[in-house]
Amino acid sequence: MENVLVQTFMALLTIHFLKASSQDFNFEGWLNIDCGSEQPGVAGSNRSMPWSTDAGVTKTGFNKRLPARQALEEMNTLRFFPDQTQENCYVVSVQYSDWPYIVRAGFLYGNYDNLSRPPTFDLKMDGQDWTTVNTSSVDDGVPLYHETIYYVGYEYPEIKVCLVQTREGEVPFISSLETMVITEGLYGEMVEPMNNPHAAFHLVTRTNFGGPELRYGGGYYDDYHNRIWTSGATPKNCVNVSTTPIDFDEIDNYPPIGVFNDSISTVNASDPIVLIVDLTPLDGPHSACFIFYFSNPNDTSGVRATQIYINGQMDSTITFAGPTTKVVTIYPINVAGPTVNITLSSDPKSTLSTLISGMEVFTKHDLAVSPPSNPVYYAPSPSAAAAFELLIFMYYILALTLSLVVVFY
């Protein structure tokens, strides 16, 4: 009887390890590249996200490990490209062609070259200008990310990201490169190719107001589409409030529950919330997409109605009836920069203060898509999924070995 109990306990332990490792989550359509790493692995707050090496997706550059340990495992290594006489690119074959993708490049300088000189350089995607990377714009030890939503056609089922030196003596590098397929229900107006042919939407900000940074970690409140929500600053006339929703049905863009758990609210009901969004330099007016996330708490009695102004123009009014979550998308709005003023004001019929839980802002960029002159399809990198499965198998073997030891003891 004792042996049966021991074996049952060890079997349950094995199941626990398996669940802790996978969180029953399917990473299909994702590719997470830990640039500069020598071997695939897993990372994230619960060590569950599979990461590949960049072997096979780039043919230039050199690997380097940062001198100081970083909190994010994928930020401990990078690949740098000192030779600008050759094309320094990543060519990533996608799993699903004719689909939109989130493409995110991550950078953490970490004084890897002992020069204390964070570089500035350009990124190109499929031959088109993407963005300028200024790694001195963030504090030391803080990753810098550039993200875009991009439609990958079936003719050339790949994404090509190149790093280009623009300043003498400043060497481009990259720490991570991620691609995630966008499933139905996410960013419908932006990703529909009939609405926006040959367009990319560059992320300006994705903010979680009143709460911590959110990303994928396998937890209940995390983002299961691998988006990163930065913790937003609280304006002086606002306070952080708890707005945990009691009813969380499927809503636009599938934001994580954690976004709605906390919000910012004005101290005085008549005061507005004013948000200033800094735009990256633009080459003239661009269309922009603004997405606002609201959570009306359960313990409220009264009317909450909010008017949304963008650069002084009222674009929407939203009224809450009871505890609920709402998403408001305003697109297109023409912007030119360098900043956008967003004002959330109480409607005259409102008796409650204004609040907001989260916000996303994208700018639209038209791309002149053309086939590559010499298409190159690199061999796929070693499968991170295979490494992940091996890890789970090792957990199982460990648990089985422990059960045999206990039984025979």
Q: What is the largest CA-CA distance in the chain?
A: 77
Strand partners, 277: 340
Mean pLDDT, range 34-63, rounded to an integer: 87
- Assign 212 to helix, strand or coil: coil
> pLDDT tens digit string along 135-166?
999 998 999 999 999 988 888 899 999 999 99
Inter-axis angle of helices 2-22 and 384-408, to 10 degrees? 160
| Mean of the per-residue pLDDT values of the chain | 84
Q: What angle do CA 177, 181, 182 make, to 5 degrees?
A: 125
> pLDDT tens digit string along 190-204?
887 666 767 899 999
Q: Which two tokens stand for residue 23?
A: 């969180």
pLDDT value of residue 350: 92
pLDDT value of residue 312: 96
- Assign 75 to helix, strand or coil: helix
CA distance 297 to 67: 46
What is the value of pTM for the model shown?
0.85
The H or E element containing residue 117 is none
One DSSP character per residue, 25-72 reads: ---TTEEEEETT-SS-EEETTTT-EEEB-SBTTB-S-EEEE-SS--SS
Amino acid at 406: V
pLDDT value of residue 398: 52
CA distance 142 to 396: 36
Structural contact between residues 106 and 176, judged by C-beta atoms closer than 8 angstroms: yes
> pLDDT tens digit string along 211-256?
999 999 877 788 989 999 999 999 999 999 999 877 666 789 999 9
Please say if the pLDDT value at position 55 is more than 60: yes
CA distance 281 to 339: 10
Please say if the pLDDT value at position 371 is more than 60: no
Q: Which two tokens stand for residue 175?
A: 């720490």
pLDDT value of residue 47: 59
Phi and psi, residue 404, nearest 5°: -65, -40
Mean pLDDT, range 49-71, rounded to an integer: 95
Higher pLDDT, 28 or 354: 354
Residue 185: DSSP 8-state: T
Q: Which long-range contacts (CB under 8 A, 24 or more apart) does 14-20 make?
A: 14/395, 14/396, 14/399, 14/400, 17/392, 17/395, 17/396, 17/398, 17/399, 18/392, 18/395, 18/396, 20/46, 20/48
